[in-house]
Amino acid sequence: NQIEKATGLESLKTLQNLDLSSNKITSLRGLGGHDLLEMINLEDNQVPHFTSTSASPNSAEDIYIFLIKFLWEIKKRSKNLTMLQEMNIRKYYTFSFGTHLQDLIQGTGDSFSLTVFRLTFKGTSVAPDRKLPNNKLVISINNTNSRASYSFPCSFQHVNAINFTSSKFASLNDVIETVAELPELKWIEDLPLLRVLNLLKNPLQERADYWLSAIFTLLQLTELDLEKIPVEEKVAAVNKYDPPPEVVAAEDHRTQVVKHMMQPQRVLHSTLPGPDASYPMLVLVGPVCCGKRKLTHKICRQFNNFFRYGPCHTTRRAYFGEENRLDYYFMSPEAFEEMVNSGKFIATYKYSGYCYGLGRDTVESIAREGLGTCVHLEIEGVRSLKCTYFKPRYILVVPTDKENYEEHLRRTGLFSRPEIKEAVSRVDMYLKISQDFPGYFDAVINTGEL
């Protein structure tokens, strides 16, 4: 325990583990050139002070000594750390200091490229894991009681596994927000190669929706809390937290059918006697305020022996010129929800924060007179209606001149700037659906002149 210089080791070319703790080492010369060296312990020594103004290393030996000095400085000045100068570490080493690292270790990002390391805060170590493929990082944070922020002298784009066992993180957002403040780190969300995450014994696990929410937050994971993640659970997580439009429509259809089946049943007027016959229904679909409402009323007036307009129910306020029971059935959200629970809708959907629904009684009252129903919907309503037994004819009503359409929305004075921007963006969405799914609409009408 009285060694002052790490010399005489040059001939030990196969040296792998070196423990020099509790000595009086002041010089690190002689520790370079050991290609197989994997672990070195320099606890309780007298390595000279390291400053950020030291010359950048050139040779492999200088790089090795430079890294040792830097990590020694981490131990010595854990709360007043220096910046790491540009360097490129190509070898794999383990450095054990047995110290609590509670502050930032700042680096220059991509200029420092340790291939694999593990970091723990119950004793700091930077170590390779030879079981992992090259260019993968492993982060292990065990028994962490503090809520300090941490940054590391390397890029995190190759992180492959993270272990937070027995940590004190209450939510994934806490982890993300804490670390996202660091200049070169986007933490968990932006780790494309992250595959393994361990959050065992964390308060986060007590949440009822923990499992699916964690999977949804990190869809790239293949293992969570030491359990493999099947594809079915990833699909369930997406369907729960960010469902695709088709899933939303199918869920709405399921809700309407279940609620309707709980009510007294009878033969509906819209049910035709032949199995191949379907109740006549015409649906005009398109972006807001594109002329589909006017066209719907015009069709019903001109062909009043065949069609009658079926107003939808909605929770939004009436626009200027709209009349209750003529254009829409305007109602409160509570009344709308009560109708849903009573099974009174064929299909419902949400658009721009408001609820819309096509009522069963609306269609039945028209069918009772021997007429077909003509309605206008947004694409969300079309998706829900396509899940039903009805087989309407769908006509896409869309303005192809977006500049004129935007100016028309602005002149109405009914919409805010975000609402106008959203409406204009949906023009391309409608056209894309028509192009990508031939037959989805039975006809397309340009309403730029309406």
Confidence of residue 285 (pLDDT cuts 50, 70, 90): very high
Query: Whole-structure pTM over 0.75, yes or no?
Result: no
Residue 95 belongs to what H/E stretch? Answer: strand 94-96
Task: Put the strands of the sheet holding 328-330 in their side by side order.
Answer: 328-330, 312-314, 354-359, 345-351
Strand 137-140, strand 312-314: pairing? unpaired
What mean pLDDT do residues 287-309 have? 94
Most confident of 80-94, 107-121, 133-147, 223-237: 223-237
- DSSP structural state of residue 300: H
Whether residue 148 has pLDDT greater than 90? no
> Alpha-carbon distance 399 to 408, whole Å?
11
- What are 231's two structure tokens? 């594809």
330 Cβ partners below 8 Å, 6+ apart? Answer: 314, 315, 316, 317, 318, 324
Domain boundary assignment for the chain: 17-206, 245-446
Confidence of residue 432 (pLDDT cuts 50, 70, 90): very high
pLDDT of res. 44: 66
CA distances from 237 to 115, 162, 190, 214 (A): 32, 21, 19, 9
What mean pLDDT do residues 381-395 have? 96
pLDDT of res. 282: 97
Helix, coil or strand: residue 309: strand
Tokens 């021997």 correspond to what residue? 370
* DSSP string covering 10-61: TT-TT--EEE--SS---B-TT----TT--EEE--S--PPP--TTSPPP-SHH
pLDDT of res. 257: 96
Most confident of 10-24, 133-147, 187-201, 345-359: 345-359
Closest CA to 358 of 396, 307, 314, 324: 314
* % of the chain exceeding 90 in pLDDT: 42
CA distances from 362 to 27, 315, 358 (A): 90, 17, 7
pLDDT of res. 5: 73
Amino acid, res. 277: A
Whether residue 1 has pLDDT greater than 50? yes
Superfamily of domain 245-446, CATH level 4:
P-loop containing nucleotide triphosphate hydrolases (3.40.50.300)
Closest CA to 40 of 86, 11, 9: 9
pLDDT of res. 182: 25
Whether residue 67 has pLDDT greater than 70? no
Helix, coil or strand: residue 283: strand
- Residue 434 CB coordination number (10 Å): 15
- What are 421's two structure tokens? 């921007």
Closest CA to 216 of 172, 177, 176: 172
283 Cβ partners below 8 Å, 6+ apart? Answer: 374, 375, 376, 377, 382, 385, 392, 393, 394, 395
Confidence of residue 191 (pLDDT cuts 50, 70, 90): low
Confidence of residue 196 (pLDDT cuts 50, 70, 90): confident
- DSSP structural state of residue 208: T
What mean pLDDT do residues 170-192 have? 42
Whether residue 311 has pLDDT greater than 90? yes
